[in-house]
Chains A and B, each alone.
Chain A
Amino acid sequence: MSSIPYILEERPDTGLNNAKLGIWIFLASEVMLFGGLFSAYVFLRFAAPEGDFDYWGSKLSVPMATFNTMVLITSSVTMVMSWASLKLQQFDKYKMYLGITILCAAAFLFVKYFEYTGKFHHGIYPSSSTFMGIYFTLTGLHVLHIIGGMVVLIFFWTKQADKMWAENQDLLANRIEIIGLYWHFVDLVWIFLFPILYLL
């Protein structure tokens, strides 16, 4: 089965390995998913009465979201560092940076949890208004993406990674590069969500 070519080495005429092309195509579909939801947001915002989105938007906590933005940007940086550490053959540093990335993800979820429950305490639910509906839908879907990414990151932080490192260093580096691309994408989505939901 391992006769499938270009799993790790690049195909000369495309300059890509399979997983790299695969993740780019996957991300293209993700762009369309969030693109669809963003267009829905724009559509609904135009359809809403004057001031409706502004009024409900003002109920969100900008400081919490700003903190979360910082957290995610940090995690993107440490994600790159962990990959770079692998390339520099520094497995311990890899583990440290990946650990920080995972902690950042956890911190993000923790803050999000407080934001959500805070809203519920004030009797604000997705059904409260169109804005709240799209807010919970967009951020909820984003949270699912964070959780999904986190599960994979944790997998590559366990003993499994040590094993892979011992057996096939290039494979581990490739996998970290791929999940890194995904992780940057998830951050990027947040970079769009933050202004349109909290600031506009």
Chain B
Amino acid sequence: MSDNHHHEENFFQKYIWSVDHKIIGIQYGITSLLFLLFGFSLMAVMRYQLAYPEAVIPYIGEWFFSESGGVMLPENYNTLGAMHGTIMIFLGVVPLAVGAFGNYLVPLQVGAPDMAFPKLNAASYWSYFVGGVVMMASFFTPEGAARSGWTSYPPLSIFESGQTMWLLGMVFLITSSLLGSMNIIVTIVQLRAPGLTWFRLPFFVWSQLVTSFLLILAFPPLEAAAVLQLMDRIAGTSFFLPSGLVYAGSAVEAYGNGSPLLWQHLFWFLAHPEVYVLILPAIGIVGEVLANNTRKPLWGYKSLVYAISFLGFMSFIVWAHHMFLTGMGQTMSAFFQLTTMIISIPSVVVLTAFFISLWGGSIRFNTPMLFALAFLPMFGIGGLTGLPLGVAASDIFLHDTYYVIGHFHYVVAPGTLFALFAGIYYWFPKITGRQLHEGMGKLHFYPSFLAMNGVFMPMFIQGLAGLSRRMYDGGQQYAHASDVLHWNEFMTISAFILGLAQIPFIVNIFITLSSKKSKDRNPWKATTIEWSAPSPPLPHVNFESAVEVHHGPYEYSVPGKDEDFCPQTTP
């Protein structure tokens, strides 16, 4: 604390070009929530199309699909699908889970004044921002936005329009994640307050540490793949183009000898760890909320830490379970089936430990807790439905059907998104000094919970009946799917109810923000370090005095104490 004379910061320094991890966290949070809303809207349009194929899309159809008289064409559907996936994952969930929650909470939970590299932190946000702008701008280019799926499989992605902008956008997003996760790792390793030993770290911090390692090691191969695909598109190379390829009726003029499978390997080497990037921070948040609201230590804290570390490691050697149908061979399939079955073990450990944590607790059913509790069975469904996809024999039948869409959405939507909601309700008082309204929170939770299941549960039924994913007409052209098509309307209505159910949430935020600040810095009576800082924590330094840690993260209901919680900083 060498510079004692304060210099006043103007609005731009304070809120736009800030290097304070709290402001950057909030920037990440607002931007990613807007992107989530946008990704959801794209999906709402798709869902309308799936329920009423070939119908004119009401209100917006004449604007966006004017050439076809307001009807969505197959290529429009492809664009919406690809961008929904891309936006939800790379611009929505990861920036919210790692950029916003990680940034805001990690320094506070380790008792640090800021991130280790504040300027890199700002650079990370602005790189994300530019990546987002590039992705958005691609909608307005003559070519339009990408339409080859979020997976961007070649050879199609080499020829389809919009892909170049997608690749450029991805380079910025990858850079942003690399800077961000490097910062998080160094902050956790180096800036832990005195007394905060490794096994006194809150579980959330552990989850961020493992997540950051995944980002650091898994994203660069995708960057490599993106560079190669960019070369294929603009320099005429043929890394991913096999010889003798025919596209749109004519032979492709390229050297050939390339391999579309190479892309799939490089892509899934990132994208499998990426799904753990989507779920680990969520698990971390749920752990915090559960411990706090059961008023009990998190059951099996050390096993949880070991489980997610093992999970992180294993996630690098399961990627080809997405490729059983590519004919990569029996030996490869056998290996990746085995690793996939092994990686399910730590996930089960996590879920089991969470369920046992509930046992015998005096549970407080507040809004964060409701979302956290809902996470458990939803993540359970998502995880268990994944097992048949990890075994080649059943995956051959299920691959590329709506079953897959149902499976991973159970993990990321009612799973991760609910955990993120839990986190927002739980830490809102720390960030703003004001507690979100409970009644409106419940009005947000219950309809969301029902509607989520209304959207995704029928997908299993449709998928098991053989309905393929990425069908712009919802599967009308397939006779074998006709028995399950009536679900489409139900799912679409559920999706719109899900959209409506977010209104109480948005209203709640604005009403709460305009209410009076509370003086209570620890309304949940929590133990972790962030709650001993003022709400919001002080600019640039967070805590009024140097932090010293004397306790483990979850000393709730310790026998023989007057209060049922003992903050980590209490001597």
Contact = CB atoms under 8 A, between A and B. Distances in A.
A36 interface: yes
Given A127-B238, A129-B255, A141-B227, A36 B113 contact: no
A47 B239 contact: no
Given A21-B189, A22-B182, A40-B266, A130 B220 contact: no
A200 to B, nearest CB: 17
Nearest to B541: A3
Interface stretch (B94-102, B114-122, B305-313, B346-354): B114-122
Given A22-B117, A44-B259, A6 B2 contact: no
Nearest to A33: B220
B113 to A, nearest CB: 5
Given A22-B117, A33-B224, A130-B239, A5 B259 contact: no
A130 to B, nearest CB: 5
A137 B231 CA distance: 8
A197 to B, nearest CB: 15
Interface in A2-24: 2-6, 11, 14, 16-18, 21-22
Interface in A25-47: 25-26, 28-30, 32-37, 39-40, 43-44, 47
Interface string B525-568: 00000000000000011000000000000000000000000000
Nearest to A49: B257
A49 B266 CA distance: 22
A133 B228 CA distance: 9
B440 interface: no
A126 B114 contact: no
Contacts of A137: 227-228, 231, 237
Interface string A110-130: 000000000000000111111
Interface in A141-180: 141
B221 A133 contact: no
A150 B231 CA distance: 25
A1 interface: yes
6 contacts: A4-B112, A5-B191, A6-B191, A47-B257, A47-B262, A52-B257
Interface of B: 1-3, 19, 112-114, 116-118, 178, 182-183, 185-186, 189-191, 216-225, 227-228, 231, 235-239, 254-255, 257-259, 262, 265-266, 269, 540-541
Interface of A: 1-6, 11, 14, 16-18, 21-22, 25-26, 28-30, 32-37, 39-40, 43-44, 47-49, 52, 125-130, 133-134, 136-137, 141
